[in-house]
Amino acid sequence: MKKLLLLTCSIVFITACTTKEAPSQMGESISVEQLKNLPKDDSWNNKLVSFEGYFGFCRMANIVKSGSKAEVRITTEENCQGDRLIDAKILVELSGSTILAGSAPRNQIIAEKNINLETIKVLTDDYEKVSYQKFTFSGNLIYNNGNYYLDNVTIHLIK
């Protein structure tokens, strides 16, 4: 009986140790045309921006490790179709990972061992676990030797 009580108390304590943070600040909304013009315009360097699109693992050589940021491509259409908007670095976790203490997870992709857009889930900035769809992405636009990508990405449902 004492072991059961201790186990129950431990679970309650661990569950109480994860906290939810306030919503992240959204960046300045930029258009598809502005995104397409980024190679010629570095004035957006290190600025917080936001835009709508679909993420995808579009490269054959995408290496995805659980617990680390993966490079995904954000496009105008789902499943890597349409125009390329930007590459982004987004945290990927394998399904079943658990955080015991600290901030509750958000702004990440949850994938099965074999990544499949039909089974993938996304934890948005407001902690909702949703299926693959069009999102608003916000993050810091980083230029690096003529290339650019989105970092510190937050993921939001389109409202």
Q: What is the pLDDT of residue 17?
A: 64
* Higher per-residue confidence, 61 vs 70: 70
Residues 6+ apart with CB under 8 A from 12: none
pLDDT bucket at 147, cuts 50 / 70 / 90: confident
Give φ, ψ of 95 to 5 degrees: -55, 135
Taking the C-alpha atoms of residue 31 and residue 109, their distance in angstroms, rounded to an integer, is: 24
Handedness of CA 99, 112, 55, 58 (dihedral sign): positive
pLDDT tens figures, 66-100: 777 888 999 999 999 999 999 999 998 887 655 54
Taking the C-alpha atoms of residue 37 and residue 123, their distance in angstroms, rounded to an integer, is: 30
The distance from CA 96 to its chain's CA centroid, rounded to whole angstroms, is 17
**Domains in the chain: boundaries:** 2-157
- Amino acid letter, 65: K
Give the β-pairing of 48-56 and 28-29.
parallel
pLDDT bucket at 14, cuts 50 / 70 / 90: very low
Q: What is the pLDDT of residue 69?
A: 87
* Higher per-residue confidence, 2 vs 131: 131
Q: Are 93 and 112 in contact (CB under 8 A)?
A: no
Decide if domain 2-157 falls under CATH 2.40.50. Answer: yes
Residue 46 CB neighbour total at 10 angstroms: 10
Taking the C-alpha atoms of residue 50 and residue 141, their distance in angstroms, rounded to an integer, is: 9
Decide if pLDDT at 65 tops 80: no
| Mean pLDDT score across all residues of the chain | 82
Mean pLDDT of the region 42-50: 92
